[in-house]
Structure 1
Amino acid sequence: MYICVCNAIRESELRRVARYTTGDAEACYAALGKRPDCRQCLDEADMIVIEEREAARKPLAA
């Protein structure tokens, strides 16, 4: 699924870069060589970044 239609950023790309980048969704976009255009995606993108980072911090269940 595309998160940012203007930049053709897929959710999977955003999740991947969120694990290795600090900052908000705009920082993740920059890491992908993009920047927000219409900005309508940023709220959802920020939530995905937060969700991905929280999931990465949780220990794996035994």
Structure 2
Amino acid sequence: MFVCICNAYRDSEIADAARNGARSACEAYEALGNGPNCGCCLDTAEDIVQQVRGAADARDTALPAKTLA
């Protein structure tokens, strides 16, 4: 679905940007090539980023810590 009409960004594109390291909606938009325009979509985009980042953070903490020998 389209999240940002001004930039024609889809939820999947925002999620991909978050998987690639974006930690906020604005960072995701910058990674996609444009910052936010009117701003109406930022709450939804931020929710997507936080969902993806939360899943990634949970996955990272579930992995066993490496020990130095």
- TM norm. shorter chain > 0.5: yes
What secondary structure is seen at the aligned counterpart in 2 of 1:7? coil
What TM-score do you get using the length of structure 2 for normalisation?
0.77
Question: What amino acid does structure 2 have at the position aligned with 1:2?
Answer: F
* Alpha-carbon contact 1:21-1:31 (below 8 Å) kept: no
Unpaired stretches in structure 1, ≥5 consecutive residues: none
Unpaired stretches in structure 2, ≥5 consecutive residues: 63-69
CA distance in 2, matches of 1:23, 1:57: 11
Instruction: Give 2:42's aligned residue.
Output: 42
Considering only CA atoms, is the larger Rg found in Structure 1 or Structure 2? Answer: 2
* Count of aligned pairs: 60
Root-mean-square deviation (Å): 1.5
